[in-house]
Structure 1
Amino acid sequence: MEEEEEHKGLITTANEELIEASGANALLLQIRPNWQAKNLIQRVQKLLRVDPSSACQRIFNASIYDLREKIIIAGLDIAGEAAKLHKLPSISKQEDVEALSASRVLDLSYRMGLLTRPEYRKLLRVYDIRKDLEHEDDEYEAGIEDCVYVFKTTIDVVLSKDPIHLIKLTDFKEIVEKPEPAQISDAVLTDYKSAPKQRQWEIYKFLFYSILKEDHPEIIRQNCYNTIIAIKEHTNNQVILDLANHYNDKLGRNTPKLKEARAANAAGILPFFKSILLNDLYKTYYLKMKATGHSFKSNNQHGELLRNLKEIGGLDYVKEPVLTNMVRWLVECYIGEKSFGRYSNSRKVFYSYSGANLSLEILNSTSQNILPIIQRLGKKDNDIMTSNLDKNVENRFQNLIDELQ
């Protein structure tokens, strides 16, 4: 009996040394305070010394319990949608979540977006280890390496992280439906970014269609416009593609109107419109530019004309031959024409102040390589060549080339 007790003490001492060397105790300190308050750490530390298998099972069970709570906090509506979409057990009330097996909790957490795919796969490996430990016999015994993997994964992925309080559609409605400019806080952006795809879809679609609603006050439509721009980079790519497909179906064969193109560009779905509709959109807009004219005499119309062009993507999605026509118009608006009359001594070139600045901004910001087009126009276009006969206008043309280079 004394020999057995001595032998048992030796095992405990060996375990403690291995545990300390593995860093398992340090991992336990990363667990969230609310779990520490439940004495989880103290219980697991005691088990580690004498029964590593039970310690691993205890820490894994705690992570599953934690995920159940996070599913409920995130929202039973999202849980129900994810379960239905991925053919998991039906979820309509809290008891349904509590009845899920450990593997189903992992599946649902992943499908809701509470776990990333790498996190999900790591936890599945932990689940496999835990199943082996439940049936531990002489052929398989928990080693410290098992404990370290189980501890590190469950703590890093689950027990160290706070629950996600999913942002709701009503939260965004409260932000945009105010008679004042909307302010999107970093906290809102963070919550939106971590929201599952279904919730992002609800919010994104609401904002997009609200921009187009004529019966909404202008301030609300502008708030929705600014908000969708602010959250676009945090939006799941599939949500943007789904919205593009959704609105493409609504457009049918109709050329998008200016307000539709403006909202679509803000939402990032404009480049996904049918090519023929985009071509018609920019062809129609060029005719409006042509009717307005690039002369300094139309200066009072250039601001709105070119700001609207920026808001429908500038030159980014324009195809030939409309692209060359638009580039020519913008170049001529920028370089202006030789001055005349009593102001010619003080002003060597007449050009539209608002038009020139916006033209340069549009030419300079496009993702397309338009420099060869402008250089070709400078050599062959009769109107631009005529303007360039004047030294001062030619200097402005060269300044434009220099800016774009």
Structure 2
Amino acid sequence: MSDPVSAPPPPSAARPVAAPGRTGTRSPGWVLGRVAGAPVVLAPSSVVAALVLAVVFLPVVGSQFPGLGVGAYGIALVFTVLLFASVLVHELAHGFVARSRGQQPHEFVLTLWGGHTSFGGASPTPLTSALVAVAGPAANLVLAGVGFAGASLVAPGGVADLLLWGLGVANAFVALFNLLPGLPLDGGRVVEAAVWGAVHDRSTGTRVAAWAGVVLAVGVPVWVLGGPLLRGERPSLLGAVWSCLLGAHLFQGARDALAADRWERRRDALRLEAVVRPAVTVPAGASVAHAVGTAAAAGAGEIVVLDEAGRPVGRVRRPDALAVPPAAAATTPVSAVTAALPAGAAVDGRLAGPALMRALVAACEHSDVAVAVVDGRVVGLVSAVDVVAHLRART
């Protein structure tokens, strides 16, 4: 048997598309194909991972086959390809289990840190979340078993033995590391699901698992660096750099999970009064002077123009109205300074939470502002910029 791989690939993680700033667009990279209705994307950062893995595995090949020469590079390349295939199997396992539970994968991405599977939304139940999370590590354990079994069937000390044994060790490491109990790792999703199921609140589960991820982010480099120091040895430079980078990656993932949770909690608590700009309405035939005077009397900063049927058809920006010379304001029709509002820009102001958010997203596809209407009466305007700022504000 060969020496174990000294630095297996970092973990991958399944994640919903829920964090602030995610738009549902595809991650940058090369599309290798489509599986389960979703693209398989090779991110540019994966090239760095491939080079690092090849460099790490090359000395192992050289120690086993000192006279191999250039062929050692070929073996290192084959091993790297096998590891990337293992990561892809991990991600596909997430996707297939999710799809079987009614959750459509959005994309499978291979990255510097292994990979991730994104979905169009969060898991609907704790059980689904847990099953999707454990599917990836379970696939790696199966591959580890295949690698070890294959190594036992081939001649010891050969190239096949080296590759199969290394594949088994690497997959076992990836599976066990991913099961560590903290976000963004799969084990963190299991913790999140367990707490969610116990207290019936996903947000609490996310916060517990994310803070556990922060502990892991600190613990990984401490363990990698502290172990050799306690034994009176000097940590390897590669191990020190890799563990610190991995710790930073885990910390960022945990931080993103907390940010996404804060975003979702504020979205669920969203109410119109938190983001609406009070507005007055004036008929399309009114003058600029009348519109400005009506807004000033009501203390409103926005003016909405109504057609003859009382439907909002335009918006008057106060700077445009005030730019009209006072001597001409009384005779200038408000239509001269009105920006048209499309029909789909209206939202029901009685909505709240996710329903209000969905309505605002749909309305802002037609315009940068939405008209809030309650029982047929315009109460104000809602800007997409104001909504995003409200959701991103820290509690």
**What is the TM-score normalised by the length of structure 1?**
0.25
Q: Comparing both structures, which one devotes a greater share of its residues to strand?
A: 2
Larger radius of gyration: 1
**What is the TM-score normalised by the length of structure 2?**
0.25
